[in-house]
Amino acid sequence: MKSLVLYIFCLALPIVTFSEEIYSPDINGLFDATLIVTGKAEIKNGQVIFTIHNVLKNVSGESYNSKSIIRFQGPRYGILSILNPQINSDVLIVYLKKYKGAWYCYGGSQQVHALKNQKIPFDFCQEIYWLTPGEYLRMKKQFFTAFRRTGDGRYHAFMTQKEFLKSPQTSPIVNRFYTCNPWGTYMEEPGGGGGIDAPVSKPEPLEDTTIYSFLSEDPTYPGGMTAFMKFVQSEWRNVELNELEKEYQGRIYFLVVVEKDGRVSKIEVARGISVSIDKKALRIMRKMPNWKPGSVRGKVVRSQFHLPFPVPEYH
For residues 244 and 300, membership in a common domain is answered with: yes
207 in a domain, yes or no?
no
Q: What is the mean pLDDT of residues 188-205?
A: 33
Residue at which a domain ends, from 157, 177, 197: 177
Give the integer Cα–Cα distance in Å for 43 and 80: 8
For residues 151 and 255, membership in a common domain is answered with: no
For residues 29 and 96, membership in a common domain is answered with: yes
Q: Identify the burial level of 182 via C-beta atoms within 10 angstroms of its C-beta, where 0-12 means exposed, 13-18 middle and 19 or more buried.
A: middle
For residues 129 and 260, membership in a common domain is answered with: no
For residues 7 and 152, membership in a common domain is answered with: yes
pLDDT digits (tens, 9 = 90+) for 208-235: 567 887 778 889 999 999 999 999 999 9
Residue at which a domain ends, from 160, 177, 194: 177
Instruction: Give the residue numbers spanning the domain of 271.
Output: 224-311
Residue at which a domain ends, from 152, 177, 202: 177
Residue of 16 and 76 predicted with greater confidence: 76
For residues 158 and 250, membership in a common domain is answered with: no
Q: What is the CATH number of the domain that holds 260?
A: 3.30.1150
CA angle in degrees (0–180, nearest 5) for 112-117-120: 35
Give the integer Cα–Cα distance in Å for 249 and 83: 18
For residues 81 and 172, membership in a common domain is answered with: yes
For residues 58 and 135, membership in a common domain is answered with: yes
90 in a domain, yes or no?
yes
Q: Chain centroid to CA 231: how far?
A: 29
Q: What is the mean pLDDT of residues 248-257?
A: 87
Tell me the CA distances in angstroms from 167 to 172, 189, 267, one per residue in order: 12, 19, 42
Give pLDDT, residue 72.
85
201 in a domain, yes or no?
no
57 in a domain, yes or no?
yes
For residues 264 and 163, membership in a common domain is answered with: no
pLDDT digits (tens, 9 = 90+) for 154-177: 777 777 888 888 877 888 988 888
For residues 253 and 166, membership in a common domain is answered with: no
196 in a domain, yes or no?
no
182 in a domain, yes or no?
no
The number of folded domains in the chain is 2
231 in a domain, yes or no?
yes
- Reading phi first (left if > 0) and then psi (alpha if -120 to 50, else beta), residue 45 is in left
Residue 19's nearest CA partner among 204, 209, 196, 157 is: 209
Give pLDDT, residue 207.
53
Residues 6+ apart with CB under 8 A from 230: none
Give the integer Cα–Cα distance in Å for 198 and 162: 12
Print the SS3 string covering the chain: CCHHHHHCCCCCCCCEEECCCCCCCHHHHHHHCCEEEEEEEEEECCEEEEEEEEEEEECCCCCCCCCCEEEEECCCCCCCCCCCCCCCCCCEEEEEEEECCEEEECCHHHHEEECECCEEEEEECCEEEEECHHHHHHHHHHHHHHEEECCCCCEEECCCHHHHCCCCCCCHHHHHHCCCCCCCCEECECCECCECCCCCCCCCCCCCCEEECCCCECCECCCHHHHHHHHHHHHHCCCCCCCCHHHCCEEEEEEEEECCCCCEEEEEEEECCCHHHHHHHHHHHCCCCCCECCEECCEECEEEEEEEEEECCCC
| pLDDT above 70 for 79 | yes
For residues 44 and 151, membership in a common domain is answered with: yes
Give pLDDT, residue 208.
57
185 in a domain, yes or no?
no
For residues 157 and 231, membership in a common domain is answered with: no
Print the SS3 string covering 159-218: CCHHHHCCCCCCCHHHHHHCCCCCCCCEECECCECCECCCCCCCCCCCCCCEEECCCCEC
pTM of the shown model: 0.52
| pLDDT above 60 for 91 | yes
